[in-house]
Amino acid sequence: MRAILGFLILILLFLVFTFPATWLLMLFLGNVGVHISYWGALPLGILVSVLLAGTTSHPSSNIFVNTNRTV
């Protein structure tokens, strides 16, 4: 039961965190004549959210980047 509740909370948080990018995409696509719903814009909203998170993160927070180089 706790696993199901945790999964539902995870889905809810996922939708809340991707909402701003998805909403802005809906507004943009509506202005260019492509009228789609929230669920239609959600996949692209997810990609935009991940792209924004990746480009705005600090490089030292990436575990794959070694900033302590000694030459």
Question: Tell me: the pLDDT tens digits for 11-51?
Answer: 999 888 888 888 888 888 888 888 888 888 888 888 888 88
Closest alpha carbon to 23 in 4, 41, 7: 41
Confirm if 17 and 45 have CB atoms less than 8 A apart: no
**What are the tokens at 20?**
């701003």
- State residue 3's pLDDT score: 92
Distance CA 66, CA 59 (A): 9
Distance CA 46, CA 51 (A): 9
Closest alpha carbon to 17 in 48, 55, 56: 48
Q: pTM of the full predicted structure?
A: 0.60
Q: What residue ranges do the domains of the chain occupy? A: 2-56
